[in-house]
Amino acid sequence: MTIRRTLLAVACAAIAAVSVASAQDDATEKAIEKYRQMLKEDPWSNPGLLDADRGEALWTTPRGPKNVSLEQCDLGKGPGHVDGAFAELPRYFADADRVMDLETRILWCMEKLQGFDRADLVKKPYPGGGQPVKELGAMATYVANKSSGMKFAAKLDQPKEKEVVALGEALFFRRSAPFDFACATCHNASGLRIRLQGLPQLSSPEEARKVVGEWPAYRVSTTQVMTMQHRLYDCYWQMRMPQLELGSDVSVALISYLVSQARGGEIAAPGLKR
Amino acid sequence: MRATAVALLVLAASATPLLAQQSPAADPARADAAIKSAFPTAPADWQPRLTPDETMRQCSAYRNAPPTAIAEEIQRRERATIVYPPDGKVLGDWKKGEAIAQSGYGLRFTDYPPRSANGGNCYACHQITKQEVSYGTLGPSLLGYGKNRKFSEADTKAAYDKIYNSHAALPCSTMPRFGSNKILTIEQIKDLVALLMSPESPANK
């Protein structure tokens, strides 16, 4: 979208007259970095915190056909424990017999504890342009924020967890659809861009540690919080694939792979993105 | 940047030698099964998108660094898919080519029914002209492409081949097979060749 491009173009407006390609690349990178710093300088300027607050209210309010809150939702550290829970996800949950990331677990709790219909929840789970993040996403923002400042510490060492991480890695390199794209097409080398947007090398733990902890993130260009599941859905959209289902084995596996790559990296959620 | 996101032109290549042999490889069948169930709303005519062809399979398995024998097999197979214009003339209109290079439209699930022709989105990954400063770097810079090749006929045909099917030149290229996968028409590919190879094109000024 032009808005997003324009935003970055603004950051680069200062570098108009350039003759040598490499000099231009350097100047462009510097301008983009300055823009990012400006966004980061005042952490309270992040509108995503409003969604974290909304998420907290939703979490503690009795809702759904069973009219209960999610305070008994077990995010892995026992029912009622939200602080630090995100830092240990994804993990295997015996009650569901499945490895789950944060959003998939919240989805499961909304279905099992509150009695919501899963099919309804996954039907249109992400907001349209300019709309705020939906309820599940707001709660994910709240829970992730309660691990902000901590480091990714998911063990992912159980056989089923290892299997899911390996699946995520295979999916990361798996090409598909008419453009032949895989995640690796854009995220398997360092220092590259799409147009002016820098691309992290997510197959590199060093780079993964820097960026994975920023999700969910508030995106300036769309004025809304985007969750990690939404991020992947949008990647597959761009890859010319159909609509990736929230909580699918593919999204859980890719998130597990990314978090395993980012182990030890700091969580700074909600992050702030272009 | 969404509209401009990913696609490319010519010569893309990130055949980084990777750790294909070192990591505990997941069973590709497992990945296929996971993919099949992860896109439940995909209409019937989208099902083929979920299944990689042999070239995609091989490139995924070797993480874009196939051994020589496989690379040659891919090259042979993909070269055989290239179709040329009936009159053999591969140089179109660079002005139309520039518009195709700018557009990232097409084939996404929000692009139906089609509202315009598909784009090549070349600038997402390549520098092409001095005028466009918003270009990506996933592929090599194509600035001065034709001039650097003295506008030769052989290189003009080679440019057509690379856009039509990049794997014919570089097996496991990361660039889409624009012709073979019917992303762009023959006419559009000719226009892109002109953007690269015409002396009048801003790419060569």
Q: What is the pLDDT of residues B19-60, one digit of tens each?
A: 433 445 677 889 999 999 999 999 999 999 999 999 999 999
- Say if residue A256's pLDDT is above 60: yes
Q: What is the mean pLDDT of residues A249-272?
A: 96
Contact (Cβ atoms closer than 8 angstroms) between residue A227 and residue A216: yes
- Say if residue B148's pLDDT is above 70: yes
Query: How close is the nearest chain A Cα to the Cα of B129, in Å?
Result: 10
What distance lies between CA A254 and its chain's CA centroid?
11
**pLDDT band at residue A224, thresholds of 50, 70 and 90?**
very high
The H or E element that residue A29 is part of is helix A21-41
Q: What is the mean pLDDT of residues A136-142?
A: 98
CB atoms within 10 A of CB A122: 19
- What's the pLDDT at A17? 31
Nearest beta carbon to residue A176 from set B5, B25, B50: B50
Q: Is A186 one of the annotated active-site residues of the chain?
A: no
How many Cβ pairs closer than 8 A exist between chain A and B?
179
Q: What is the mean pLDDT of residues A129-148?
A: 96
Asked whether the beta carbons of residue A242 and residue B46 sit closer than 8 angstroms, the reply is yes
Contact (Cβ atoms closer than 8 angstroms) between residue A88 and residue A155: yes
Query: How close is the nearest chain A Cα to the Cα of B51, in Å?
Result: 7
Asked whether the beta carbons of residue A253 and residue B34 sit closer than 8 angstroms, the reply is yes
DSSP output for A94-128:
TTTTEEE-HHHHHHHHHHHTT---HHHHHHS-S--
- What's the pLDDT at B205? 95
Asked whether the beta carbons of residue B4 and residue A15 sit closer than 8 angstroms, the reply is no
For A65, phi then psi, to 5°, come to -55, -30
- What's the pLDDT at B24? 52
- Say if residue B4's pLDDT is above 50: no
Nearest beta carbon to residue B133 from set A24, A248, A251: A24
Q: What residue has token string 């998130």? A: A255
Measured between alpha carbons, how far apart are the two ends of chain B, in Å? 27
For the ranges A12-16, A149-153, A239-243, B15-19, the lowest mean pLDDT is seen at: A12-16
pLDDT digits over A237-247, tens only? 999 999 999 99
- What's the pLDDT at A35? 66
Between A38 and B171, whose confidence is greater? B171
- Say if residue A8's pLDDT is above 50: no
- CB-CB neighbors (< 8 A) of A194 in chain B: 1, 4-6, 124-125, 136, 138
B12-to-A99, B139, B141, B177 alpha-carbon distances in Å: 37, 4, 10, 11
Mean pLDDT of chain A: 90
Asked whether the beta carbons of residue A9 and residue B124 sit closer than 8 angstroms, the reply is no
For the ranges A167-176, A250-259, B10-19, B106-115, the lowest mean pLDDT is seen at: B10-19
**pLDDT band at residue A32, thresholds of 50, 70 and 90?**
low
**pLDDT band at residue A24, thresholds of 50, 70 and 90?**
low
Query: How close is the nearest chain A Cα to the Cα of B165, in Å?
Result: 11
**pLDDT band at residue B174, thresholds of 50, 70 and 90?**
very high
- What's the pLDDT at B37? 96
**Which residue of A240, A256, A261 is the best one to mutate when testing the B interface, meaning the one whose CB has the most B CBs within 10 A?**
A240
- Say if residue A2's pLDDT is above 50: no
Query: How close is the nearest chain A Cα to the Cα of B88, in Å?
Result: 26
Q: What is the mean pLDDT of residues B48-75?
A: 97
- CB-CB neighbors (< 8 A) of A163 in chain B: 26
| Spatial separation of the C-alpha atoms in residues B71 and B173, rounded to whole Å | 11
Mean pLDDT of chain B: 90
For the ranges A40-49, B45-54, B60-69, B158-167, the lowest mean pLDDT is seen at: A40-49
Asked whether the beta carbons of residue B6 and residue A186 sit closer than 8 angstroms, the reply is yes
- What's the pLDDT at A6? 43
Q: Which residue of B has its CA nearest to A164?
A: B26
- CB-CB neighbors (< 8 A) of A251 in chain B: 38
Q: What is the mean pLDDT of residues A185-213?
A: 96
Query: How close is the nearest chain B Cα to the Cα of A25, in Å?
Result: 9
Asked whether the beta carbons of residue A169 and residue B59 sit closer than 8 angstroms, the reply is no
Asked whether the beta carbons of residue A194 and residue B60 sit closer than 8 angstroms, the reply is no
- The fraction of chain B above a pLDDT of 70, given in percent, is 88
- CB-CB neighbors (< 8 A) of B52 in chain A: 174-176
Nearest beta carbon to residue B6 from set A5, A181, A221: A181
pLDDT digits over A59-84, tens only? 999 999 999 999 999 999 999 899 99
